[in-house]
Amino acid sequence: MLTVRGLVKRFEGGRVPAVDGISFEVEESQFFTLLGPSGCGKTTTLRCLAGLEQPDAGDIELGGRVLFSGEAGINVRASERGLGLVFQSYAIWPHMNVFDNVAFPLTVVPRGRRMSRPQIRKRVEQVLNVIRLDELSGRAATDLSGGQQQRLALARALVMEPPLLLLDEPLSNLDARLREEMRVELKRLQRELQVTAVYVTHDQVEALAMSNTIAIMAEGRIEQVGRPRDVYQHPASRFVADFVGGANLIDGVVGSREPNDVYRVETAMGMLDVSSSAAFAPGSRVLVVVRPEHVALSTNNLRAGDGRLGRVLGTGYLGDAVDHVVSVGALTVRARTAPSASVVHGTEVSIEFAPEHCTLIPHDP
């Protein structure tokens, strides 16, 4: 559906590469998310797809149609790409009601290709019904709530039936409760309409909850592409492990590889058994990756000299869970437990985690 190859975009006279040779593919009807911190190049990538920025090199192809080719000198104008765009700012027309806002893109189509008025009304009514704004079609756009304005912006993008929908952090201006509701609503709409979407966000929860595929970006490059579960459970680098979910990273050296893809890894906490399908030679420096929710705390059978013996330095109540910060020798480990299993500050504990809940990544040079 969408193919991006070797995309490059530089700023400040070509000195600063905002997008540094990235490539990816988006399948039809897929919800594809570009995830990363501010300044990583994800919004610049989206603007290149939209035609709002001209890349310095690379290729962008949509459904067999070349939108940009640095080598061939092709750059289709944004107005001719026919894509749906939704940004942080809803950019609704304050002097128009809901119906007229949604109808506007259809009314400015050149006369020879423009729908008739009855056709425009039918199309707008269909979209408003799907977006669940049909009962508010006559209301002034400025009288809508934040969530309703967000849905209005979506309706206006969808009314043209675009081959690709581009969304740049569209939920960032909403409060936490409304943002959660709109995540569900957006995913419902995308599935119901079978729209192909590229979504940009710095919010890992949004990315994990909504996406079919996630591309994690850092410093203009793609660190990893994969399904949400795979990216979370099997990060490919230190950056991905730390950015997505805030994993515990424990330095180690591979001792041996046992049957069933279990490695024995020497660490400051002693010898750890870790499951990994990757190939690491004995003596390789690695990082053991353990998510906080997979770290179990115990106050029983505490033995002096045990490398996993530690002390709780602090806790944070999250409602459905409690975060614990545990000092284990020179290491600091985060553990997330159910509220009923909370351990108070200062308590001595031992920590445990199963091999299947750990993974290995190469130690950064």
H-type alpha helices, the chain: 42-50, 78-81, 98-107, 117-131, 146-158, 176-193, 204-210, 228-233, 238-243
Write out the two tokens for 170.
């569209």
Domain span at residue 297?
Answer: 247-362
For residue 240, being part of any structural domain is answered with no
> Rounded CA gap, 115 and 351, in Å?
66
Which amino acid is located at 340 in the chain? S
* One domain for residues 220 and 332: no
pLDDT above 60 for 365: no
- State which of 233, 262, 286 marks the end of a domain: 233
Q: Are 240 and 352 in contact (CB under 8 A)?
A: no
- State which of 233, 261, 279 marks the end of a domain: 233
Write out the two tokens for 146.
């934040």
Q: Mind listing the pLDDT tens digit for each residue in 111-170?
A: 888 888 999 999 999 999 988 899 999 999 889 988 888 889 989 999 988 999 999 998
* One domain for residues 188 and 336: no
Across 276-321, the runs of DSSP E, i.e. the strands, are: 285-290, 296-298, 309-317
For residue 17, being part of any structural domain is answered with yes
pLDDT above 80 for 305: no
Considering only the C-alpha atoms of the chain, give the largest distance between any 2 of them, rounded to a whole number of Å. Answer: 84
Report the number of distinct structural domains present in the chain. Answer: 2
Pairing state of beta strands 262-267 and 74-75?
A: unpaired
For residue 305, being part of any structural domain is answered with yes
* One domain for residues 143 and 19: yes
For residue 8, being part of any structural domain is answered with yes
The distance in angstroms from the start CA to the end CA of the chain is 37
Other Cβ atoms within 10 Å of 272 Cβ, number: 21
Q: CATH number of the domain that 341 lies in? A: 2.40.50.140
DSSP single-letter state for residue 355: G
pLDDT above 80 for 223: yes
Query: pTM to 2 decimals?
Result: 0.90
Please provide the average confidence, as pLDDT, over all residues in the chain. Answer: 91
Residue located via tokens 């690491």: 280
pLDDT above 60 for 68: yes
- State which of 208, 233, 258 marks the end of a domain: 233
For residue 283, being part of any structural domain is answered with yes
Q: Please give the pLDDT value at position 338.
A: 92
* One domain for residues 155 and 103: yes
Which amino acid is located at 273 in the chain? D
DSSP single-letter state for residue 145: -
Q: Please give the pLDDT value at position 306.
A: 66
Q: Please give the pLDDT value at position 177.
A: 84
